[in-house]
Amino acid sequence: MSWVGRSIRRVEDPTLLRGVGMFVGDIGGAAAVRFVRSPVASGLIRAVRGPAYTIEDLDADGVGNIEAVLHRPDYVRLAQPLLARERVRYVGEPVAVVVGDTAAEAEDLAEQVELDIEPLPAAVGIDGALAPGAPLVHPDESDSNVMVAGEMATPGLAEALDRAHAVVDLEIVSGRQAALPLEARGSHAVTERFGGRTTLHASIQAPHMVRTVICDLLGMPEADLRVVAPDVGGAFGQKLPLAREDAIVVWLSRRLGRPVAWIEDRSENLMASWHSREQRYRLRAGFDAEAHLESLQADVVANVGAWPCYPITWGVEPLMALAELPGPYTPEHYGVRSRGVASHTCPMSPYRGVSRPAITLALERLMDIAAPRLGLDPVEIRRRNLQSDFPHTSPTGLRHDEGTYREAMELAVRHVDLGAFRSRQHVARAAGGPQPGIGICTFSERTGYGTPAFAARAMGVTPGYENVELSMDPSGYVTVRIGASPHGQGLETALSQIVADEVGTDPGRVRVVASDTDRTPYGWGSFASRAMVLAGGATYLAAQQLATKLGSLAAEALEAAADDIVLADGRATVAGTSVGVDIAELARIAHHHTQRLPAGATPGLSVQAGYDPAGTFSNACHVAEVDVDPDTGGVSVRRFVVVEDAGRLINPMIVDGQIRGGVVQGIANALLEEIVYDEDGNILTTSLMDYLPPTVAEIPDIEILHLETLSDATVTGAKGVGEGGTIGAPAAVLNAVNDALAHLGVELNEMPATPERVRAAVRSATGTPAGPTN
């Protein structure tokens, strides 16, 4: 029986359950680092007084600037200092740094530092940053706040819109949000007294990349820096880019010759870590008489904050929107302008889903708004428009491998029993009070992409591949060293299942080593729903090589043909016979009796493999049922159904965990979570009393059904699944809220749909029924 496909318990868990995991804040034994941060959104630094290090100290040591680069003509290149130089550009920007013996002492020292800053007007929000005469965030480098602007159009777009049977215009807005890992960021560095080698432990997603950029900044060989991501308490994209604080922690430990640690507090995390999602989409869509989406024109703006993030740059949100906006649909004509606009606010990094929650919100609101105008219901309009011929090449050249776009929707609709829901809704409409609504969302998710996809972005560094080193030791146990960097996903367990099947052992005899640059091959880490596809694929290929080696050893020992050897249950046997040898015995021979190996064979049992696929598309359909109280604007989610196709499920329990956790973040993005600035650029949401992640009280159980299209785009047949939950949920919830209030003529296209926004939408409603009618 195969191990792949079974929901075995996670090998990661016992340590975490006993409370003996090792997160950065648990290491201890270090002086405390505290950053002094700008209290104003924009200003000129006149003086910094007090017991602190500033940019002058970094400059004196020759520390370099961060350069997050896209090689494209419409991209503004900047050199970002590790501490503010001359100007501050957002509330929370690090200006100075202090070191104390304890965290309390460091806080006391930080309070003694006086920042003399001349405040300047700030550009806040998309409209504020784009307005004529808006304060410029980087006046020396650019005469506008537009930092990247992609544009493309297929021929004939304007004509296609002109001759469309129906044209639908739509604006959707996504508020600014934070990934909010429960463990905030942090780092801990120790420099050896002799030799001068530094070890950095940091709460990050990509240790090898972080080592490269810190060594570039500090002018040191990579061999002299070991970077370890110990247990990481959630990340969701926020711990992917370089944190300037981590580079400064390394610099301080080398300069002071003592261990130092920075443990970010929650207020810093909300104010000055990374934000995401502040976007506006304006769509014009042309449908033909059969309700096919023929032409799609989009204007996208993402407020990307004050600085780019390394290495992904501030192109990540706007350019993903440009490339992936057509989603699961097939417009023949597509045109888009997508801009990243800088503002005096916290910089942006990827957050689970990146642009796709907003892309999907735009497309799925479009379908629900277009449906009644075309005399259709939300199911039928999607049925007519979802991709069904594979592979499909999008107008931007993305190849969609085989999926189940329509099948997923049909299954979801059957599962929820739409007819029964409409009957309940009919009764509730007559009764008044809270109104039930239902919302459908279908989407595709590009996952598991390697170098080709990143190369198309023309990044200063090009991520993509993953390498795996795999060895069987003399005891017959397998060690898998990976470049990916799991932080709670359960990748170690899933990889051990793949290895166990290929080499005929059980997962208990497999150990996965990750997240330590001294012990793993160079790789890119865990992000972008890639680890199972990339590290899983490389592991699968390496395990096959190991199996081949074991097969030839067994053939030699058993005097049989290598093709006849079967590896299973810890034994190598000759097919169809009981003649066999323990795999552990073969491991002994490979290491300790190499005189018995065939001439020319390499001693030991070590192999390595790389994997670098073009990518694959997962797909799903989400259905949300909500109750909306038109009098209070309160929304409660009553039911949530997911039909997901993520290809082969290596460990279904883990996959469901990824989906469920993602959906809950998506529901919160749709209804609760928003980073708010006032008009002067002061951030108003710096505690968990102001920024509202959901508790179990706001969240229903999530019903999950699977379709399993074994992808030919990946060697394991698995597709990525880390982000899908968060991508689909906002649109499903917003469509449900609109459905609930359709009889009042309400149209609400902004997330989060807070009670305030729902009430405003009810007050300004036309009174003319709109929306789905099936």
Partner 1 sequence: MTEISPADEAVPVVLRVNGTDRRIAAEPRRTLADALREDCGLTGTHLGCEHGVCGACTVLLDGEPVRSCLLFAVQAQGAEIRTVEGLADDDGTLHPLQEAFWRHHGLQCGFCTPGFLMLSAGVLETRPDIGDEELREALSSNLCRCTGYQTIVEAVRSVRDAAGA
Footprint on this chain of partner 1 (rule: CB under 8 A): 9-10, 12-23, 25-26, 28, 103-104, 108, 180-184, 231-234, 236, 265-266, 487-490, 653-654, 656-657, 660-665, 687-689, 693, 695-697, 699, 701-702, 725
Q: 64 or 634, CB closer to partner 1?
A: 634
Shortest Cβ 42–partner 1 spacing (Å): 28
Q: Side chain identity at 567, as an amino acid letter?
A: L
* Buried/exposed 253-267: b ≥16 CB within 10 Å, e otherwise: bbbeebbbbbbbeee
Calpha distance 385→265 (Å, rounded): 47
Could you tell me if residue 131 is left (phi over 0), alpha (psi between -120 and 50 degrees) or otherwise beta? beta
Strands (E) across 347-388 are located at none
Q: 259 or 772, CB closer to partner 1?
A: 259
CA 710 to chain centroid: 23
Residues 6+ apart with CB under 8 A from 233: 23, 181, 182, 183, 203, 487, 488
Calpha distance 609→23 (Å, rounded): 30
Q: 22 or 79, CB closer to partner 1?
A: 22
Shortest Cβ 36–partner 1 spacing (Å): 19
Shortest Cβ 639–partner 1 spacing (Å): 13
Shortest Cβ 183–partner 1 spacing (Å): 5
Q: 79 or 688, CB closer to partner 1?
A: 688
Q: 28 or 397, CB closer to partner 1?
A: 28
Shortest Cβ 644–partner 1 spacing (Å): 14
Shortest Cβ 10–partner 1 spacing (Å): 7
- Within 10 Å of residue 634's Cβ, how many Cβ atoms? 15
Residue with tokens 């080193």: 469
Pick from 549, 540, 607, 560: which is nearest to 583 by CA? 549
* CB-CB contact of 711 with 402 (8 Å): yes
Shortest Cβ 81–partner 1 spacing (Å): 29
Q: 104 or 561, CB closer to partner 1?
A: 104
Calpha distance 682→727 (Å, rounded): 29
Shortest Cβ 687–partner 1 spacing (Å): 6
- Angle between the N-to-C axes of helices 244-256 and 207-218, in degrees from 0 to 180, rounded to the nearest 10: 60
Q: Which two structure tokens, joined as six digits, stand for 252?
A: 């301080």
Shortest Cβ 13–partner 1 spacing (Å): 5
Q: 649 or 664, CB closer to partner 1?
A: 664
Strands (E) across 31-113 are located at 31-37, 43-49, 87-88, 94-100
Q: 170 or 514, CB closer to partner 1?
A: 514
Q: Kindly give the pairing relationship between strand 198-202 and strand 225-228.
A: parallel
Rg (CA), the chain: 27
Shortest Cβ 271–partner 1 spacing (Å): 13
Calculate the alpha carbon distances from 173 to 187, 361, 510 in Å.
35, 9, 47
Q: Side chain identity at 12, as an amino acid letter?
A: E
Q: Please, which residues bridge with residue 169 across strands?
A: 284
Q: 20 or 131, CB closer to partner 1?
A: 20
Strands (E) across 696-764 are located at 702-707, 750-751
Q: 184 or 587, CB closer to partner 1?
A: 184
* CB-CB contact of 276 with 178 (8 Å): yes
Q: 585 or 674, CB closer to partner 1?
A: 674
Q: 201 or 392, CB closer to partner 1?
A: 201
Q: 387 or 686, CB closer to partner 1?
A: 686
Shortest Cβ 54–partner 1 spacing (Å): 26
Shortest Cβ 376–partner 1 spacing (Å): 33
Q: 16 or 584, CB closer to partner 1?
A: 16
Shortest Cβ 722–partner 1 spacing (Å): 11
* CB-CB contact of 239 with 203 (8 Å): yes
Calpha distance 104→388 (Å, rounded): 61
Give helix then strand counts, H and E, for the chain: 20, 28
Residues 6+ apart with CB under 8 A from 432: none
Q: Which two structure tokens, joined as six digits, stand for 545?
A: 């090589």
Shortest Cβ 230–partner 1 spacing (Å): 11
- Angle between the N-to-C axes of helices 405-416 and 418-431, in degrees from 0 to 180, rounded to the nearest 10: 50
Angle, alpha carbons 541-546-549 (nearest 5°) = 130
